[in-house]
Amino acid sequence: MRWAFTMLKAVGPIRRIPRISNFLTACAISNFHNTKIVAFGSTCRVDNPPEDDPTLTTLLKAGTEAITLFGKSWTLHVTDVLRATLEENLQIIEDSCAWLKENGREVIYDAEHFFDGYKADPEYALETLLAAQAGGAEVLVLCDTNGGTMPYQIQEIISAIQPRLDVPLGIHTHNDAGMAVANSIVALEMGATHVQGTINGYGERCGNANLCSVIPNIEFKLGKTAIGAENLKRLMELSRFVSEIANVYHDHRQPYVGESAFAHKAGVHVDAMLKQPATYEHCDAEAVGNQRRFLLSEQSGGGAVAAKLHHLIPGLDKRHPTVQKLLQKIKQLEHEGYVFEAAEASFEILARQILGSIRRPFKLINYRTINRKSVAGSEVEAIVKIEIDGQIYHTVGEGDGPVNALDSALRLALESVYPTLKDVRLEDYKVRVLSSADGTAAKVRVLVESSDRQRVWNTVGVSENIIEASWMALVDSLTYKLLLDDIIVVG
Ligand SMILES: CC(=O)SCCNC(=O)CCNC(=O)[C@H](O)C(C)(C)COP(=O)(O)OP(=O)(O)OC[C@H]1O[C@@H](n2cnc3c(N)ncnc32)[C@H](O)[C@@H]1OP(=O)(O)O
Ligand SMILES: CC(C)C(=O)C(=O)O
């Protein structure tokens, strides 16, 4: 199986060379074990012989072992976009592939709009592939560029062309009809041996085939080896890493690698899962580096609560009075607007309070926020007074807003006693109005996501006062970090 995880898609005129070659020089001296960097660009222009074409010469100068060339398969694109004749397009495909081959490169040919082209004129679309094959392309990648092809059409078209080609096929799909992964899998099932996609499916419009789904599907559903069991265990870590680098919120609902992929909420599901894990899961969470989670909510039963407490009290019976007490408390708080399924850290703190296995890190005496707005701009300040082990801390913090200022003031006091709190980052802050009919007097729910770069956790606060709700979620977040670090655990 060949992989095209990421492609260098910006190869263009000469003026781009320095930036690209810096990147490629860095790649060339990196010691990749499983990765091959591939330069990417189009066939030459009709008016240019390959050796004078700025795109092709730049691709060659990139110095990569392999080059992906894309060319037109659809008559509409040839006539209306390239503004060339159908024969000229066949010629530039063959000549471009052949010239790169003559210059010692491995050539991957991406047949742009192949499926739409085939629907419009099957014979011509096939001829474009034959031209690339004649030019020496090592693999012919069929692209569903507009993302509108259905899996059964992929199957029909591949069956029709396969007998007429001699080189291996690849697949490149987009997700405009929500079929990118399905279409890739169909093509692979039919014998394609090269798949192009992106981590988390990031890409133009609705995205590309999500390799975080394609890869485990190959391993678990097609029964073939893609990256192997050991690498597969790091898939979720990779998915999170790429979203972090891209500065895009990690999608909890992603198959296999989303935080919710193995999260169970309904009491009936949780009860069955505890009896037999195969009842509500199609594969093993740990095989892709994920983990099973039981979410607590007003839909929970005792089984879910007991399972949640397993790491604190192994073997706890779901009918135990503590379980029932906690269950009642959760239902009452959820009725007031809390959501523990999205705030597991707050649940753990609540459970430990009921079990008496937590020491609160500080006692609040009071806090206050001051918002000063003038023509010169706005200033926000928070003053916090707390007690830690009998000692009073009185601190002032400034911020962009009252919550930010409160966070600064609280940390100023706490970090001198609990230095690991310096590692806590607020990743996300969400506010939801719970009873909009009450206008500005409505209750709000604040959800905070925090991390210490190794772990991520979520906390919740609910109040009629947005600052109060934020304070609650903030305090739970810092408290949970101290729990994770074993600093305030009791017993
Ligand atoms: C199919 C895909 O989606 S692959 C993703 C392609 N990647 C990108 O578009 C991102 C990077 N792109 C770029 O940097 C620029 O668009 C460049 C450098 C490639 C071209 O820049 P420019 O020369 O300024 O042209 P511009 O972007 O305006 O137009 C695209 C040109 O490519 C031509 N072109 C499109 N497909 C092909 C092809 N398969 N073979 C040859 N030329 C092609 C178009 O006809 C158009 O040429 P024209 O100006 O003569 O009409
Ligand atoms: C040419 C390729 C790689 C592409 O993005 C497409 O056709 O979808």
Helix (H, G, I), strand (E, B) or coil at 374: strand
Distance CA 341, CA 305 (A): 12
pLDDT value, residue 126:
98
Question: Is the CB of 71 inside a 6 Å radius of any atom of ligand 1?
Answer: yes
Establish how many alpha carbons lie within 13 A of residue 197's alpha carbon, considering only the half-sphere containing its beta carbon. 26
Which of these, 320, 339, 360, lies nearest to 444 by C-alpha position? Answer: 339
Question: Is the CB of 14 inside a 6 Å radius of any atom of ligand 1?
Answer: no
Question: Is the CB of 81 inside a 6 Å radius of any atom of ligand 1?
Answer: yes
Question: Is the CB of 112 inside a 6 Å radius of any atom of ligand 1?
Answer: yes
Distance CA 363, CA 345 (A): 19
CATH code, domain with 154: 3.20.20.70
Nearest-5° Cα angle at 38, 114 to 22: 135
Ligand 2: atom nearest CA of 9 is: 3
Q: Is 56 in contact with 84 (CB distance < 8 Å)?
A: no
Distance CA 81, CA 332 (A): 63
If asked whether residues 195 and 234 sit together in one domain, one would say: yes
If asked whether residues 385 and 434 sit together in one domain, one would say: yes
Cα of 53 from ligand 1 centre, angstroms: 13
Distance CA 290, CA 237 (A): 9
State the chain's mean pLDDT as an integer.
91
**Residues contacting residue 219 through CB under 8 Å, at least 6 positions apart:** 225, 226, 227, 229, 232
Q: Which of 246, 273, 298 is the last residue of a domain?
A: 246
Cα of 309 from ligand 1 centre, angstroms: 58
Whether 491 is covered by a domain: the verdict is: no
What separation in angstroms does the CA of 60 have from each of 3, 28, 54? 21, 14, 10
- Choose the residue to mutate in 9, 38, 42, 69 for probing ligand 1, maximizing ligand atoms within 8 Å of C-beta: 42
Among 297-301, 344-348, 393-397, the least confident range = 297-301
Q: Is 195 in contact with 3 (CB distance < 8 Å)?
A: yes
Which of these, 459, 474, 465, 429, lies nearest to 444 by C-alpha position? Answer: 465
Distance CA 189, CA 193 (A): 9
Average pLDDT of span 69-77: 98
Both tokens assigned to 367: 């806090």
Beta bridge partners of 107: 67
Q: Which residue has the higher pLDDT, 199 or 9?
A: 199
Whether 358 is covered by a domain: the verdict is: no
Structural Rg of the chain based on CA atoms: 29
Pocket of ligand 2 (CB under 6 A): 70, 110, 112, 143, 145, 172, 174
Q: Is 361 in contact with 478 (CB distance < 8 Å)?
A: yes
Whether 345 is covered by a domain: the verdict is: no
How many CB atoms within 10 Å of residue 363? 12
If asked whether residues 303 and 383 sit together in one domain, one would say: no
Cα of 116 from ligand 2 centre, angstroms: 13
Cα of 41 from ligand 1 centre, angstroms: 9
Both tokens assigned to 137: 């392309």
- Residue 435's domain comprises 363-484
Q: Is 55 in contact with 12 (CB distance < 8 Å)?
A: yes
Cα of 48 from ligand 2 centre, angstroms: 22
Which of these, 431, 433, 454, lies nearest to 443 by C-alpha position? Answer: 433
Both tokens assigned to 89: 């397009």
Tell me the ligand closest to 68's alpha carbon: 2
- Give the tens place of pLDDT for each residue, 461-472: 999 999 999 999
If asked whether residues 72 and 191 sit together in one domain, one would say: yes
Ligand 2: atom nearest CA of 147 is: 8
Which of these, 336, 330, 345, lies nearest to 267 by C-alpha position? Answer: 330
Q: Which of 246, 276, 307 is the last residue of a domain?
A: 246
Both tokens assigned to 131: 């031209």
- Give the tens place of pLDDT for each residue, 113-172: 999 999 999 999 999 999 999 999 999 999 999 999 999 999 999 999 999 999 999 999
Question: Is the CB of 243 inside a 6 Å radius of any atom of ligand 1?
Answer: no
Q: Please determine, for the modelled complex, whether the ipTM score is greater than 0.95.
A: no
Tell me the ligand closest to 144's alpha carbon: 2
- Choose the residue to mutate in 15, 16, 45 for probing ligand 1, maximizing ligand atoms within 8 Å of C-beta: 45
Cα of 82 from ligand 1 centre, angstroms: 9
If asked whether residues 66 and 168 sit together in one domain, one would say: yes
If asked whether residues 91 and 225 sit together in one domain, one would say: yes
Cα of 11 from ligand 1 centre, angstroms: 10
CATH code, domain with 450: 3.30.160.270
Beta bridge partners of 432: 445
Q: Is 432 in contact with 445 (CB distance < 8 Å)?
A: yes
Distance CA 216, CA 214 (A): 6
pLDDT value, residue 19:
53
- Give the tens place of pLDDT for each residue, 200-209: 999 999 999 9
If asked whether residues 270 and 222 sit together in one domain, one would say: no
Residue 450 C-alpha from the chain's centroid = 17
Distance CA 318, CA 320 (A): 6
Hey, whose CA ends up nearest to atom 2 of ligand 1? 112
If asked whether residues 376 and 279 sit together in one domain, one would say: no
Both tokens assigned to 365: 């005496």
Distance CA 115, CA 134 (A): 20
pLDDT value, residue 274:
85
If asked whether residues 479 and 409 sit together in one domain, one would say: yes
- Give the tens place of pLDDT for each residue, 414-440: 999 999 999 999 988 999 898 766 666
The structural domain count of the chain equals: 3
Q: Which of 185, 218, 246 is the last residue of a domain?
A: 246
- Choose the residue to mutate in 82, 128, 198 for probing ligand 1, maximizing ligand atoms within 8 Å of C-beta: 82
